[in-house]
Structure 1
Amino acid sequence: MSTAGSVSKGCFTFKGKKRRVNVEDYLPRAQNKDIESCQARFHELWEEMDTQMQILQSDFNSSIFEELLTYTQCAHASFSLETCASASLREIPAAALVTGVNTPDHGTMFGNLVSMLRDRVTPLVTILKSKDCQSVRNILTRTMSQLLDNTHLDYDDDEDSEAVNSRSLPLTLSTLAKWYHNKYVSKPSSPKKRKSSAGVGVERGGLPPVVIVMEDFENFPPRVVQDFIIITSNYISLLPVVFIFGIATSVSAIHRLLPNEVSSLLCMEKFQAPPSTEYLTLAISQMLMTSRCPFKLGKGVFQLLLDIFLYYDFSVLNFNQALRFAMLDHYTSQPLSYLCCNHDDTEVTVNQMDGQALDRLRQLSSFMSYVEECSTTEQPSLLLDEKFTKRRVVQLINEMFEYHINFFPILNCLHTLVSKLPGYPLGKQVREVYSACLEESVWEREDYKHATDLLRMLAKDELKTLVTQCVNKLATEAQLASVKTDLERFGYRMDHIDEEAEEEPAGDMEMVDTSLPSRTSLHQLRQRLQDISKKQKKQSPFEKLREEIVDYCHALFRKYLIAPSSLPLYEIFYYTSTRVIKQRLNASPRSALQKALSNPGYYLQVTICVCCDVEGNHIGSRMPDTCVVYKLHLECGQLINLYDWMQAFVTVVQQEDENDSLKQADHKLQARFIQAVSQLQFLGFIKPTKRKTDHVARLTWGGC
């Protein structure tokens, strides 16, 4: 990092200590003897969820990875010993992999891609990052070190078992071409046998291509990439090179970095990775919106995690880590969270509760509300009788699991009905409908009433398609077989609506008083005309059936889509600490810095002393130098005189060095002051200014 603009004109080195960080140490701990049970439950459930996430992510990217593997394997299918000598200048095969803007996930994605390439296509794979490739020499060094030093690990041949030291060879593509010719081309073209990541021997015939993966292609220096592509094009007849460019935005980024004379050397093909929003929807549907996992997110936490994902980073990896933190905080801060377990372990876990745990359970607000709703004969038993309370808790937990079993299939039916309506009243994605159902009873929302009004205006074909989709959603739900049967009956009636029309007798039209008042307002006149129109119009058989279907679905939603916050023992299964999530995942760096500099004792809890535990604007002589300098700079205006600032600093801390000689104290204090000022500049509180040579400009105002 350049220090040309630094106040001290110095060079600073920050060397961190390597130590294992335990995330659980930073979370509040529940003060009860069941904390070990809570942690065991957390590890058990998170291992299951993490395994499902990894399987889901690998399956999600499998299609695009298969296309890339096929492309790299067929790019140089005709490359052989005969074509090497007589081949003319050809274009370099290049795959433009559009990955999206979720940059935190790119490392995992390209790591999986490189592993699959080495296992199934070629051992000659190198991955380059822009931070390590600021010159052509850096690119050649990284490429040759990865190709030459790691190739021997993929083969069982005794003659290839010795690693090639890339440091002893010239860093040129000519060296790499000679090595490739001696290793692959000059030998008999017998199929080689290598070991896959699973340890199974895999045969691969022909000459393996050399795959060069540039993970963050847009961040590479343009001139460096251009020179490297031009150099590589001169060796395309000797090296079967294939480029894979990782693009975060669009393919046009390649044309912005590469001029026409360079891009003409490439034969590019575009590969579009699935957007991370689709994976998020799939992950929520497969893990959170299922009865298999007892842990759930409350309305505020769920919406906060969605907002961070959609409006900040689009990172699935960060979403998974945030979900893990929420689960860990729930199991460490909620004393009764060990009851959030698998359904089969419920009765055993409840029976092991002692009197103290039952008292904590009785203090839950949802359980207290449940007790108030019970009869007067049951209330004393729920508050005093342990056996009766345990039996009722087991019953309530079983009802919670049954609620989740019915809740999510009916929620999918609601999403099916409203996802194609004009304007999307309840949202287009299933996560939006789920968020609306978490907040309150969905039938009480205005947008739900608007959605039902739109459903009452659907055509026959549209309504028939939606009913069929709902039947398919409930195909595997045995507990909702009656609902599925009713919906199938509605579908059958719509198919035979003409027969119902013939059987229905024709009735006389109702006589309606169509007289209008002589004097009325415009609103009353419109309402009167609408009432007359409704009474005069006779409903067709399909309109009656449509009303019947909508009313049936409305009753279904009122029965099963109850807001979870209204259920007893809601706090055990749902995590609702939005404030903790905001502090940990959406922190404010500036306020944290100002608080640390104003009150160092808050952070120095291990070595806290009386001198750091100060109040207000008081400046302690034994406070850290950076804190002293920070508090002094709060007393200054827009420009700060460095000499006056240093004299004030010396006045505050000089009593520490009163036993030393004045000269030594001056040198020490001056060095300490310069170091503290440089740290403030690094943190962004001050900057040098040209208005006055011996002054610095203040960049912030106010303290903590």
Structure 2
Amino acid sequence: GCFVFKPNFKKRKISVPIEEYFNEGKNESEDSKLRFETYQMIWQQMKSETEQMQEELNKNLFDSLIKFLQKSHSGFQKNSRDWGCQIKLREIPTAALILGVNVTDHEFTFRSLTEAVQNNVTPYVVSLQARDCPDMKHFLQKLFSQLMDCRVDVESKEEEKDIQKKTHCSMDSLSSWYMNVTQKTDPGKPRKKRTSSQWQSPPVVLILKDMESFTTKVLQDFIIISSQHLHEFPLILIFGIATSPVIIHRLLPHAVSSMLCIEIFQSLSCKEHLTTVIDKLLLTTQFPFKLSEKVLQILTSIFLYYDFSIQNFIKGLQLSLLEHFYSQPLSVLCCNLPEAKRRIHFLSDNQCENIRRLASFRRYVEKQATEKQVALLTNERFLKEETQSLLESLHVYHTNYFLVLRCLHQFTSSLPKYPLGRQIRELYCTCLEKNIWDSEEYASALQLLRMLAKDELMTILQKCFSVLKSSSEKHLGSTEKRIEELLAQLQSLDEVKEEEDASGSQSKGLQKTDLYHLQKSLLEMKELRRTGKKQTKFEVLREKVVNFIDCLVREYLLPPETQPLHEVVYFTAAHTLHEHLNAAPRMALHTALNNPYYYLKNEALKSEEGCIPNVTPDICIALNCTSSAAG
């Protein structure tokens, strides 16, 4: 018989706009849509800046790689009969690309490299991973199938795929395919102009993304077979290596590695890459969003002690940005200064109260005269005008802060034992945390600065002058003039060694800086001060320079917590970030099953201890029943 079953009516899922999530559980979020749009705008700017920066960092590496690839098969293209060239043609050109242990970042690098090679060298670029090539058969199949996809002539793609299904994959078939492809011409159709270096006998570039993970037998067999067909199948290998070039000789015996003509290419250090990212995204007034010391410490700790991944660091930065705009209603003012001033005019009474509740603003009000305190707490118009002024002061604070921070880094980055850190991010974290001039490391750095030689001091001052001159905003104009004056005074000192009343402290001052001589000179200087001996002109001038930079630090490198309205631009919820990024799977599962409200944030799931709501998920009820029975 025939039976008719009516399908159950399924409710169509209603998609909720992402910005609506900003409203959930927030009573004071009338600007949620604007906050979300601001978040998207800032993140897109940060993302494009990051991509551009990564392209610039990879440019030198890719340029040298492309030069290597272009010259590798010049002998094959010329068909040289020279004995030396014939010997060289038996070796497979191989680029050992040392990328570091940050494996999660390798995919982006290989994607960019593939695009660069296809644009500049050859259309035949294949990328293989060890998990797809457990044996020689799968290796050749993957190689053949990807080469089919590299074909420029779309019309012949389907024909070749049919041929591939019928043909047994081997180096002979690959060689035959290559010869047919490169020699095939169609006189009936006009062809696009192609440069001879790119299209005349173009090499096949094979990228092994994770060379360490390939089995020794597969690598050995492929290299031996490929070297025998190199005269008809011009192959170039690129080994993606996470550890060290030594791994090549561990995986391959000498008889096999001698078939490779290896050249090593080193990518930028992960730590240097991190410093560049922080420098471009955080140590600038281009982006108003900033991280507190604890949040930045969490992100850098995960990077340095866990994965060395720049991509994960940037994702953590994106999460911090999203959390800031979600949890802080006043983040609506976290935008460029002219736009923030415009938005202040449209703040609601509720948002004005949010400003008054800020801890930094309350401290600011307490320092004002009584009349101004009353106006700030009762007059909305006066409050908005004062908020505009405070945001402008915060912008000027950041401009001066980053300039002085870079100048201080120029002074301290070359000191022995690096008392304030070697990278600018280390110095930045210290300055965010506390008054840096109260630390022992800062006092130690000043002592070492008082031992600098004349040429070193002049070099550092010239770098500081360049830093200040490169800034488009001239808030530190007098500082720039003062550095110029100090440089002129140093240059005017006589090159001839001055006579001294006591021991040769001048000669000590003009020595190249090293730890032993610095410690010895420091003891001598203390002794000279104790006995009241006269200082030379250079020593007096050097003392002026050190005191000058010390005054700059004390005036401009105040911690952000001292600035009114810093909460508008600084994300400080380190515990929230820690919960999201430092995963604890067992604890997370236990919490989710015992208290589903913690993650679902559904009011119906709220209950007193020992009670189970009716809407609780079945798995949570089953766990509670099991636990009760076991108890």
Compute the TM-score of the two structures, normalised by the length of structure 2. Answer: 0.85
Contact 1:96–1:269 at 8 Å: present in 2 too? yes
Matching residue of 2:176: 178
Note the C-alpha offset of 1:162.
Answer: 5.9
Q: Please state how far the C-alpha of 1:123 moved relative to its aligned partner.
A: 1.1
1: distance between equivalents of 2:630 and 2:71? Answer: 66
Instruction: Compare the two structures and name the one with the higher helix fraction.
Output: 2
**1:34 aligned residue:** 31
1:536 corresponds in structure 2 to 532
* Unmatched runs of 5 consecutive residues or more in structure 2: 1-13, 502-522
Query: Aligned residues: percent identity?
Result: 37
Moved more, 620-629 or 390-399: 620-629
Any residues of structure 2 matched to 1:306-385 within 5 Å, and which? 306-385=300-379
Q: Which residue of 2 aligns with 1:587?
A: 583
Alignment partner, residue 240 of structure 2 = 246
Q: Please state if 1:562 is matched with 2:540.
A: no
Larger CA deviation: 620-629 vs 350-359: 620-629
Shifted more, 278-287 versus 367-376: the winner is: 278-287
Aligned counterpart in structure 1 of residue 167 of structure 2, from 169, 181, 185: 169
- Equivalent-residue separation in structure 2 for 1:548 and 1:493 (angstroms): 11
CA gap 1:624/1:329 in 2 versus in 1, 3 angstroms: closer
Once the two structures are TM-superposed, the CA of residue 348 in structure 1 deviates from its matched residue by: 0.9
Q: d(CA) in 1 for partners of 2:112 and 2:15?
A: 25
1:160-196 deviation per Cα after TM superposition (whole angstroms, max 9, x unaligned): 796534333321121111111111146599997489x
**CA shift for structure 1 position 625:** 8.9
Counterpart Cα distance in 2 of 1:330 and 1:82: 63
Question: What displacement does 1:294 show?
Answer: 0.6
Could you tell me which residue of structure 2 aligns to residue 647 of structure 1? none
- 1:397–1:194 Cα change, 3 Å: farther
Q: Match for 1:442 among 436, 447, 461?
A: 436
8 A Cα contact 1:411 1:434, kept in partner: yes
Match runs of 1:616-631 below 5 Å? 623=619, 627=623, 631=627
Q: Distance in 2 between matches of 1:602 and 1:545?
A: 63
Tell me the distance in 2 between the aligned counterparts of 1:21 and 1:279. Answer: 38
Are positions 1:210 and 2:204 aligned together?
Answer: yes
User: What is residue 387 of structure 2 aligned with on the other side?
Assistant: 393
Q: Shift in Å at residue 327 of structure 1?
A: 0.4
Q: CA deviation at 1:301?
A: 0.4
Aligned to 2:450: 456
Letter in 2 for 1:182: N
Q: Which amino acid aligns with 2:623?
A: C
Report the equivalent of 1:573: 569
Contact 2:92 2:261 in 1 (8 A): yes
Give the 5 Å matches for 1:16-35. 30-31=26-27, 32-35=29-32
Deviations 1:474-495 (A, max 9, x none): 1223332321111111111112
Amino acid across the alignment from 2:492: H
- Does residue 144 of structure 1 match 2:108? no
1: distance between equivalents of 2:561 and 2:607? 48
Given that 1:193 and 1:203 are in contact with CA atoms closer than 8 Å, whether structure 2 keeps it comes out as: no
Preserved CA contact (<8 Å) 2:104 2:309: yes
- 2:35 is aligned with what amino acid? C
Q: Give the structure 1 partner of residue 479 of structure 2.
A: 483
Are 2:62 and 2:113, in contact at CA under 8 Å, matched by a contact in 1? yes
How far apart, in 1, do the equivalents of 2:500 and 2:176 lie? Answer: 93
Asked if structure 2 preserves the Cα contact closer than 8 Å seen for 1:94 and 1:244, the reply is yes
Distance of 1:244 and 1:501 partners within structure 2: 57
AA aligned to 2:65 is L
Q: How does 1:225-264 map to 2 (within 5 A)?
A: 225-264=219-258
Residue equivalent to 1:124: 124
Q: CA 1:34–1:228 in structure 2 vs 1: closer, same or farther (change >3 Å)?
A: same
> What is the rounded CA distance, in whole Å, between the counterparts of 2:537 and 2:390 in structure 1?
44
- Give the aligned residue type for 1:172: S
Query: Are residues 499 and 262 of structure 1, via their aligned partners in 2, closer, same or farther at CA, if it must alter by over 3 Å?
Result: closer
Moved more, 573-582 or 131-140: 131-140
Q: Deviations over 1:214-256 (max 9, x none)?
A: 0011111222222222222221121001110000010011111
1:72 to 69, 85, 105: 69
Indicate if the aligned counterparts of 2:594 and 2:620 stay in contact, CA closer than 8 A: no
> Greater Rg, structure 1 or structure 2?
1
Identify which range, 117-126 or 186-195, moves more after superposition: 186-195
Matches within 5 A, 1:89-128: 90-128=90-128
Cα 1:536–1:216 change in 2 (3 A) is: same
- The C-alpha deviation readout for 1:338-388, integer Å capped at 9, x for no partner, is 101111212211001011110111000000110001111100000010110
Report the 3-state secondary structure (helix = DSSP H, G, I; strand = E; otherwise coil) of the residue aligned with 1:479.
coil
Q: Distance in 2 between matches of 1:81 and 1:532?
A: 75
| Mean CA deviation greater in 235-244 or 458-467 | 458-467
CA distance in 1, matches of 2:98, 2:190: 34
1:22 Cα deviation from its structure 2 partner:
9.5
Q: Is the 1:597–1:626 Cα contact (8 Å) retained in structure 2?
A: no
Q: Measured at CA, do residues 29 and 240 of structure 1 come closer, stay the same or move farther in structure 2, by a change above 3 Å?
A: farther
2:10 is matched with which residue?
none
In structure 2, the CA distance between the partners of 1:216 and 1:59, relative to structure 1 (3 Å rule), is: same
AA partner of residue 123 (structure 2): P
TM-aligned CA deviation for residue 614 of structure 1? 4.3
Deviation (angstroms), 1:531: 7.5
SS in 1 for 2:94: strand
Counterpart residue identity of residue 66, structure 1: D
Distance 2:607 2:390 in 1: 54
Q: Name the structure 2 match of 1:403.
A: 397
Q: After superposing the two structures, state which structure 1 stretch, 244-253 or 116-125, moved more.
A: 116-125
CA 1:234–1:613: 2 relative to 1, 3 Å: farther
Q: Secondary structure of 1:424's match?
A: coil
CA distance in 1, matches of 2:158, 2:618: 62
**CA offset at residue 498 of structure 1?**
3.4
CA contact (8 A) 1:76 1:209 kept: yes
* Cα separation, partners in 2 of 1:546 and 1:134, compared to 1, 3 Å: same
- Specify every segment of 5 or more residues in structure 1 that has no aligned partner in the other structure, as ranges: 1-18, 196-200, 507-526, 636-704
CA distance in 1, matches of 2:230, 2:594: 62
**In the TM superposition, what whole-angstrom CA distance separates every residue of 1:654-698 from its partner, at most 9, and x where no partner exists?**
xxxxxxxxxxxxxxxxxxxxxxxxxxxxxxxxxxxxxxxxxxxxx
Please name the residue that 1:52 is paired with: 49
Number of residue pairs the alignment of both structures matches: 584
